Chain A
Amino acid sequence: MTRSYRLTLATATAAAALAAGAALAAGYPEKTVNYIIPFGPGGESDISARLQEPVFKRLTGQTVAIQYKPGAGGAASWAQLNGMAADGYTVMGTNLPHIVLQPLQKDVGYQTDDITTVYWFHFTPDALIVTADSPYKTLKDFVDAAKKAPGSITLSGSGTNSANHLAQQQFDKMAGIKTTYVPFGGTGPSNTALLGKQVSGSWGYTTVQMQLGAQVRCLAVAMAQRHPKLPDCPTFQEQGFELVGGAYRGVAVPKSTPADVQAKLADILARINADPEFIRKMEDGGFAMLDVGPDKMAGFMAEVKARYGALAREMGIVKK
């Protein structure tokens, strides 16, 4: 980033802050921001936070302290979010479909609307992946085989009622096929089962394809356009299936965080998302960029709640 660009940005933010007339937000951030990841280290949430960290420091001059509070698939942390300090110095990673599905399934100590997400910054698009030597060369081969022998194709994925599981359910419905979903305890074990040919294929993400490289073949990705780093992998839409989605990651704050601080944070996250170096590293890892800021948040959340809610009811996982 050039000096003049940085200056412009600084002026722009200063102007924005003045316009907001905010006392608290004016200097935000003035100290280290605690960034709580509701999962363990090493996962996609951690990796993307680690990539945001240096850009945050470059843009604001303040550091980010990443902490891990895993438990109950993230629910342990989300249930505590609104009890934390609401000053903008405690922020938390937030995930879809998790925060919609978990409260639908059981009492996990929070409701979807309790989570104040200020920005959704990327997603890992669903991808249907088989091994490189699989007989399924294309999505059509796969669908044809599944039609011939309903239920006999096994697909690994990470977790029950997870993004991978939802993708399998959605696609089975769209294609009019029946496959067997085999849940594993994370992307790692699911990939192992795929490479070891314990299963016929895997519902994973674009990140899985980037990680496993030439060992596997991606039959389709759930994106509107092809992923820039996976030009050979067609989208579901190209092949006639309206499947777009995956696991979304964002940043949330405790509910009572002042609106101007939330706006400032959203602005910083938007600028991180515009950083070319950040974009390059994220896309190299297989992530897909996404910008859902405060202006689009209400509509976006209403849409995903309706979509996941309907799916969850069909799958019969909504608590009575």
Chain B
Amino acid sequence: MGGLEHLLAALSPLNLLLALAGVAAGTVIGALPGLTATMAVAVLVPFTFSMDPAAALIALGAIYTGAIYGGAYAAILLNTPGTPSAIATTFDGYPMARAGRGDLALTLACLASVAGGLVGAGFLLLLAPPMATVALKFGPVEYFWLAVFGLTLIASLGEGSTVKGLIGGCLGLLLAMVGVAEVGGDIRYVGDFKSLLGGIDIVSALIGLYCVPVLIELVATPARHLESVSRVAGFQLREAGALIARAKLNLARSSVIGTVVGILPGAGGSIASLVAYSEAKRASARRANFGKGEPEGIVATESANNATVGGGFIPTLVLGIPGTPPDAIILGALLVQGIRTGPTLFTDQAPIVYTFVWGLILATLLMLPVGLLIGRFAFRSILAIPKAVLVPSVALLTVLGSFAVHNNPHEVQQMVVLGVAAWVLGRMGFSASPIVLGLILGAIAERGFVQGQLIGGARGSVWAEFFGRPISLGIIAFILLGLLWPWWMARRARRRSGAAGPAEVGRG
């Protein structure tokens, strides 16, 4: 399977060109706040109709993986995740940039993304049909518990006070309720604003909550945006390589987490990178440094979110079920091309599938030079551009990005309102991440809960539905571990040293 002839087919000049152009375009689109991977793929789709199916898939896969990686730039340099997948990259990426190590953070993100992307694509190449069954094992109840698990991670994110983090999470949950309920069709918290019927859009919330406070701060303070320790920003490849080598276990674990979460339809890169981050933190000896500019944090999130690309293609191609939102668009493009996805695709259409997978692997490898070059350019630009140019440019992007979500001015209004609110909340010590996570996970949790209740009721027992399924019990065990671990660690530390350090208390 995945024989050499398909690798050679993928190596045709046209396919290589498409992979290169796709990765470069994707990286730039992903780097711009508000332009997401889903959008990048949607824009490209019409151009692929005239291509042959394998070439079309390579172009789409390349722009997709590039955009997921590109999201790290804005996360590191502007504290604004370029795509939802990069939320967790802000935790350590921005502190590193603030400390003058933005160049190192970008190179780390590039190396981790390539590694994660290769692991995800490797699973797609070798194990796609058996792995696809994972997607089917997850029912509504499992998604409910997975979302609850994600919510408990808010407590251990490591930025600021735990109580304020939890309050922020609840705020996000409330925001998730706005609009027409997906299950049941009830209208909630809309008031007289018809524009709220569609709910709060995650991308416009993301732009508002992260980007607007940064812009206001930039204007309000006289200091330069970022300082570099070394005036000549280099690749820092040697140092980054050494850090990656040290974190190879973290890299492998995060990539596998990313692949598996990518396979789950309805989870996606934001959850993958969050889970990988939290597991990396739990396992790391440098736990206390997470959230303050720890390179291992970036390694975890960036390898995990790029691994979701290959993972997400597994159910898309094997079952005809999109693993991630961009996969849904790619699936539609395949239908227009006249390709039927399904279990027989890997045998009937082996040349197309394997040429594509090799193409995806090549595109991921091309991300290394492309990403390093664009990264250096982005870093130098952010350092060199005077604030008077930087702020209006980014402000324009926030408006364009939030408008582009649905081509609708309502999303721009939401973005501005949430942004100003986030700035006020930020002054009071609430950070954006718990709110955004509450917004993303709240919708998943509610959906799973109501569906689980309906199915459980029909089967005779709601309790058995929620607490009687093996995967659910496994996730519940992780939730308990996540809740009790910090407490247990703090207790052990107290026993050992006699008194808890101030940093330990804050971490909760």
Contacts and interface: CB of A to CB of B under 8 A. Distances in A.
B35 to A, nearest CB: 15
Contact of B137 (A50, A188, A196, A284): A196
B342 A212 contact: yes
Contacts of B341: 211
Contact of A42 (B135, B328, B457): B328
B454 A69 contact: no
A32 interface: no
Interface string B107-141: 00000000000000000000000000001111110
B139 A193 contact: yes
A72 B408 CA distance: 12
Interface in A41-87: 41-43, 46-47, 50-51, 66-73, 75-76, 79
A188 B406 contact: no
Interface stretch (B21-29, B87-95, B297-305, B315-323): B315-323
A107 B340 contact: no
Contacts of A41: 42, 45, 329, 332
Contact of B322 (A181, A188, A199): A188
A67 B343 CA distance: 32
B182 interface: yes
Given A72-B197, A76-B197, A108-B197, A152 B459 contact: yes
A125 B135 CA distance: 27
Nearest to B196: A72
A69 B406 contact: yes
A191 B197 contact: no
A18 to B, nearest CB: 35
Contacts of B463: none
Contact of A180 (B321, B335, B338, B454): B454
A195 B321 contact: yes
Nearest to A198: B139
B381 interface: no
A72 B185 CA distance: 11
Given A105-B185, A182-B454, A211 B198 contact: no
Interface string A158-179: 0111000000000000000000
A159 B336 CA distance: 24
Contacts of B183: 160, 183-184
Q: Which of B181, B187, B406, B459 has the most CB atoms of chain A within a 10 A radius of its CB? A: B406
A147 to B, nearest CB: 15
A271 interface: no
A134 interface: no
A192 B16 CA distance: 34
B407 A69 contact: yes
Interface string A276-288: 0000010011000
B182 A185 contact: yes
Interface string A103-133: 0011111000000000000000000000000
Contacts of A285: 335
Contacts of A196: 135-139
Interface residues of A, number: 57
A69 B201 CA distance: 13
A70 B404 CA distance: 11
A11 interface: no
A317 interface: yes
Nearest to A211: B320
Given A68-B42, A68-B407, A75 B320 contact: no
B194 A79 contact: yes
Contact of A212 (B46, B184, B320): B320
Contacts of B454: 154, 180-182
A288 to B, nearest CB: 16
B226 interface: no
A318 interface: no
Contacts of A193: 139-140, 451
Nearest to A80: B408
B335 to A, nearest CB: 6
Interface in A210-225: 210-215
B49 interface: yes
A135 B194 CA distance: 46
A317 B185 contact: yes
Contacts of B336: 47, 50-51
B343 A76 contact: no
A66 B333 CA distance: 14
A153 interface: yes
B136 A72 contact: no
Contacts of A66: 46
B455 A199 contact: yes
Nearest to A44: B332
Contact of A71 (B140, B182, B406): B406
Contacts of A198: 139-140, 455
A151 interface: yes
B179 interface: yes
Contacts of A43: 332
Contacts of A199: 455
Nearest to B342: A213
B460 A152 contact: yes
A152 to B, nearest CB: 5
B136 A195 contact: yes
A72 B198 contact: yes
A50 B183 CA distance: 30
Contacts of A76: 195, 197-198, 406, 408, 410
Contacts of B447: 184-185
B173 to A, nearest CB: 18
A105 B197 CA distance: 13
A42 B184 contact: no
Contacts of A51: 336
B388 interface: no
B238 to A, nearest CB: 43
Contacts of B455: 154, 180, 182, 198-199
A223 B473 CA distance: 44
A41 B320 CA distance: 16
Contacts of A212: 319-320, 342
B331 interface: yes
A46 B328 CA distance: 12
A127 to B, nearest CB: 15
A21 interface: no
B476 to A, nearest CB: 18
A154 B335 contact: no
Given A41-B45, A73-B180, A183-B451, 18 more contacts: A40-B328, A68-B42, A69-B407, A70-B198, A71-B408, A75-B197, A76-B195, A76-B408, A105-B185, A160-B183, A180-B457, A183-B182, A185-B182, A191-B321, A192-B135, A192-B266, A196-B136, A196-B139
The 3 lowest CB-CB distance pairs between A and B, nearest first, are A42-B332, A196-B136, A198-B139
24 contacts: A42-B330, A47-B332, A51-B336, A68-B42, A68-B407, A69-B408, A76-B197, A108-B197, A154-B454, A159-B182, A159-B185, A160-B183, A181-B454, A182-B451, A185-B182, A188-B321, A189-B266, A191-B320, A192-B136, A192-B319, A196-B138, A198-B140, A213-B340, A215-B342
Interface of A: 40-43, 46-47, 50-51, 66-73, 75-76, 79, 105-109, 151-154, 159-161, 180-185, 188-189, 191-193, 195-199, 210-215, 281, 284-285, 317
Interface of B: 42, 45-46, 49, 135-140, 179-185, 187, 194-195, 197-198, 265-266, 315, 319-322, 328-333, 335-336, 338, 340-344, 406-408, 410, 447, 451, 454-455, 457-460
